[in-house]
Amino acid sequence: MASCVRVTGITVGVVLVVAVVVGSITWAILASKGPSAPKLKELDWWENTIIYQIYPRSFKDSDGDGIGDLKGITSELNHFVDAGVGAIWMSPIFPSPMVDFGYDISDFYNIHYEYGTMADFDELVARAHELGIAVLLDYVPNHASTESEYFIKSEARESGFEDFFVWADPVLTEPNDVNSRTVPSNWISQFGGTVWEWSEARQQYYLHQFAIEQADFNFRNPAVREEMLNILKFWFNKGVDGFRLDALPHMFEANPDDFGGVYPNEPLSGNMFLNETQIGYTTQEYIRDLIELYDVVYEWREFADSYQKDTNSNTKILLAEAYSNITMTMLYYGDERGRFGAHFPFNFGFITSVDGRSNARDFVYVIKQWLVYMPHGNVANWVFGNHDTNRMPSRFRTNMVDGLNSLNLMLPGVAITYQGEEIGMRDGYVSWEDTVDVAALNQGNASTYLLYSRDPARTPYHWNGLSNAGFSSGSSTWLPVAEDYQDINLAKQKEDTRSHFKRCCTYGELVFTAR
């Protein structure tokens, strides 16, 4: 451990920050309880583990087609054992047209063909469990692909599916003139442009808070909520240990019944640098963080707990993804009525509130804010990166990697890491011609796309310094491999005692030492 502290100034700094923050909070708890030491509860399997996010398309390709797959993940499960990882969370692996690379799901009950088969999935789960690694899936309840059976049946007004999605009549700017048709409201999609798309077949608009091809479910329809539980149960029966719940703030939108039968226009934000097609031009108060969504999350938690009890299985965990203010975020844990929600909402403070210019005080603020606002008796978590934001070394500085990884592991609760952080992978350069991210394609151009693109954080994993960084034996890869792969790769770092991977004796040994 001493060798770890000597590595860089930032490591020393963050260790001191952790000591001050955790020490002061611990002192306050003990002081309030008197001279007797507090009783320590036995921790459940997930409460102080390391969760490793895998972006399957970029992790390991087993068949040479340039796309990562399930067999590739299975072949490298020992990497997680070496790193002390207790759970892997895979970004969506379900069938999809890949407009948003898996977040536009067309079949919630199967495996995308490029990633393998259900037999491959079963093998992965079985092998992971043999190694003591839990398996979490990325679940996208807010929307489905417009190629899904749900949407096809709803668009055709098939019985039982008529209201599976959010449909709305057009607004006519000229009474009785169908040619004056316009959208029901001024709401803006997360990927830019209106949230409303016209369906010629149904002669109505449908709502999509993300891409046009991602239609929003109608969660005010009990049949939709029942189907969501059916999906959870199917994958629990397959041995899945939990889910990351995607895009939860967007599950509900203003109810036209509360506004005289129309969808209300949102107030303008006043940001003079944005136009009417850009997210942030309006306040978004009618399309996110509506209080109704928490009832659904609490329903899912009740279902997961009941499943665990009925099957006498390990705890099935639910993790809430929400970029919301701290008050709305904490409601995902539960409410004042004693209802439980997600086991924890993701803590994005280290992504949204600090960067390479931040000082120790900024880090202290992020840590204390979460621990102070978190409801009593719950579990904290810490996140430095994911597939939707620039990689940690690119947002901060390369010489901060070891310190930030150490901080993540030393803080109380669950440490969450994104693939490549353990070796200090940086953003890869992806040209406009090679860009595939729908967020960049919708909102950017050849000059501005990097402001929106998530592709640089999704380039293939660097296994070694050979062709394609050892990711694929194919002639090309779905995104270009970053140019620095010969300098930054796992094989090289396993041979270097002062590498990111080896420093502090790998993730697992650091956790053992610090916790």
Distance of CA 199 to the CA centre of its chain: 30
C-alpha to C-alpha distance for 284 and 268, rounded to whole angstroms = 9
| pLDDT score, position 262 | 97
| pLDDT score, position 8 | 42
Name the band, by pLDDT with cuts 50, 70 and 90, for residue 153. very high
C-alpha to C-alpha distance for 288 and 286, rounded to whole angstroms = 6
Name the band, by pLDDT with cuts 50, 70 and 90, for residue 24. low
pLDDT at residue 32 greater than cutoff 60: no
C-alpha to C-alpha distance for 34 and 165, rounded to whole angstroms = 56
CB-CB contact of 255 with 220 (8 Å): yes
| pLDDT score, position 20 | 60
The mean pLDDT value for 142-170 works out to: 99
C-alpha to C-alpha distance for 499 and 493, rounded to whole angstroms = 5
Q: Where do the structural domains in the chain lie, given as residue ranges? A: 2-142+219-253+288-433+485-514
How is residue 75 written in tokens? Answer: 């072949």
What are the residue numbers of the active site?
Answer: 246, 321
| pLDDT score, position 69 | 99
Average pLDDT for the chain: 93
User: Which CATH number, 3.40.50.11260, 3.40.50.150, 3.30.70.1450, 3.20.20.80, labels domain 2-142+219-253+288-433+485-514?
Assistant: 3.20.20.80
C-alpha to C-alpha distance for 45 and 86, rounded to whole angstroms = 8
* CA dihedral (427, 55, 496, 515) positive or negative: positive
The tens digit of pLDDT for each residue in 276-313 reads 999 999 999 999 999 999 999 999 999 999 999 999 99
pLDDT at residue 503 greater than cutoff 90: no
User: CA-based angle 422:425:429, to the nearest 5?
Assistant: 160
